[in-house]
Amino acid sequence: MRLELQKRPERSALYALLSPFIAIALTVAFGAVLFAFLGKDPVEALYVYFISPLTSTWSLHELAVKAAPLILIGVGLSVCYLSSNWNIGAEGQLVMGAIVGSTLPIVFPDFQSPVVLPLMMIMGMAGGAAYGAIPAFLKTRFGTNEILTSLMLVYVAQLFVDWLVRGPWRNPEGFNFPESRTFHDYAILPEVLASGRTHYGAVFALVAVVALAILLSRTLKGFEIRIAGQAPRAGRFGGFSASRMTFFAFLLSGALAGLAGISEVSGAVQQLRPVVSPGYGFTAIIVAFLGRLNPIGVLFAGLLLGLSYLGGEEAQIVLGLSDKITRVFQGMLLFFVLACDTLILYRIRLVRTRGAVAVAGE
């Protein structure tokens, strides 16, 4: 018995829609097996993981706080991946955005004015974009592989923020904890609703989704992005510049990651710490693919992955399960998403090795 792929005459619209759901279903099924294996009641565990965080106002706010950076980064990465620019260093761009945006309240704490917050957001985006420009420059100028350079820069950024908060930016009144001073009131991203912690980062995420959905589906730039990924030769003949596209993708995704970073720091944490994010920049890669590189899809995918963080915390408290299981789930999900995407372009047939009897199966 072996699997054989048969190319479909055209892309299957049905499976393009269904494949993320099949992937989620498979992940949940495997998750149930995993929970049973760990000696937990799978139904209860799945409920704790995926349903109970949705049952209280408090946790819905937490969901928005966690999903916002994933969505912001995810839509940016979608543009990168659609145009075949493999930016996997969003985590570093996020950290750099957080650092650059934080200079105002940390280095100039006496500069207190309503313009501080908008300036911080702009500086955060600029910091992330500038950091994203490095792999773009190295790729276009020297042909250096952007996957490796963007990833190496993540480690560099993490070490840099670690040095800052333990060294020059350490809180003078902080009892030697590796933390910056807490931000003054003008530097804190306000909450959107009176009922909970959801800050304006969630609004930024929604704006980014709408803006990029329009950009990708309604503008020439959106067409150019797709061409760069699907038919780069045709794009060159059409007069589109590949290197400008690389810069566009990296600057855009870097800026969005930077915005996610500064929003997280000034909204959720309100000071700079050695670890800025629980891996949002990497989880956003999963978000982008689960959302099929489509901004609206990314919105839902970001909510689901945000939910997985919350469910992980909940499962740790209620069931005593390790929160490490969350990352296993997330990794499994991406695996299944990629596997199910095969169904869009191919029919999968089970073929008996001996004899030519084919068992047709979609």
Partner 1 sequence: MDLAVAIIVTVVTAATPLLIAAIGELVVERSGVLNLGVEGMMVIGAVVAFATAQTTGDPYIGILGGIAAGAFLSLLFAVLTLTLVTNQVATGLALTLLGLGMSGAIGEGYVGIPGIKLQAIEIPLLSDIPFFGDILFKQDIIVYLSFALVAGVTWFLFRTRAGLTLRSVGDSQNSAHTLGIGVIRIRYLAVLFGGACAGLAGAQLSLAYTPQWVENMTAGRGWIALALVVFASWRPLRVIVGAYLFGAVTIGQLHAQALGFGIPSQFLSALPYLATMIVLVIISRDRRLTLVNTPASLGQPFVPDR
Q: Which of 98, 117, 189, 285 binds partner 1 (CB under 8 A)?
A: 285
Contact with partner 1 (CB under 8 A) among 21, 58, 163, 177: 163
Q: For residue 359, is it left (φ>0), alpha (ψ between -120 and 50) or beta?
A: beta
3 in contact with partner 1 (CB under 8 A): yes
As a residue count, the chain comes to 362
- Restricting to residues 167-226, which ones interact with partner 1 according to CB under 8 A? 167
Tokens of 214: 């329009």
Q: How far is the CB of 231 from partner 1 (least distance, A)?
A: 15
> Where do we find the tokens 């350490």?
170
Instruction: State how beta strands 2-7 and 358-359 pair.
Output: unpaired
β-strands 346-351, 2-7 pairing? antiparallel
Contact between 114 and partner 1 by CB under 8 A: the answer reads no
Determine if 242 is a binding residue for partner 1 (CB under 8 A). no
Q: In 3D, which of 94, 95, 72, 132 has the Cα closest to residue 291?
A: 72
Under the binding rule (CB under 8 A), the answer on residue 107 touching partner 1 is no
Phi first, then psi: give them for residue 347, nearest 5 degrees. -90, 140
Q: For residues 191 and 313, which CB has a smaller minimum distance to partner 1 in the complex?
A: 313
45-84 mask for partner 1 (x: CB under 8 A)? ------------------------------------x---
- What region does 20 belong to: left with phi over 0, alpha with psi -120 to 50, or beta? alpha
Nearer to partner 1 by Cβ, of 43 and 338: the residue is: 338
Q: Is residue 32 at the binding interface for partner 1, with CB under 8 A as the rule?
A: no
CB of 326 to partner 1, least distance (A): 8
Least separation in angstroms between CB 18 and partner 1:
16
Under 8 Å between Cβ of 74 and 238: no
Among residues 28, 210, 242, 339, the one that binds partner 1 under rule CB under 8 A? 339
Long-range (24+ apart) CB contacts under 8 A made by 42-45 are 44/319, 45/315, 45/319, 45/321
Smallest separation, CB 2 to partner 1 (Å)? 8
* Shortest distance (Å) from residue 210 CB to partner 1: 26
State which of residues 48, 68, 121, 151 lies at the interface with partner 1 (CB under 8 A): 151
Place of tokens 């565990």: 45
Q: Is 2 exposed, middle or buried (0-12, 13-18, 19+ CB in 10 A)?
A: exposed
Tell me if 131 contacts partner 1 by CB under 8 A. no
Q: State the nearest-atom distance from the C-beta of 250 to partner 1, in Å.
A: 15
Q: Which stretch binds partner 1 (CB under 8 A): 62-70, 99-107, 260-268, 328-336?
A: 328-336
Binding site for partner 1 (CB under 8 A): 3, 5, 7, 81, 86, 88, 138, 142-145, 147-149, 151-153, 155-156, 159-160, 162-163, 166-167, 282, 285-286, 289, 322, 324-332, 334-335, 338-339, 341-342, 346, 348
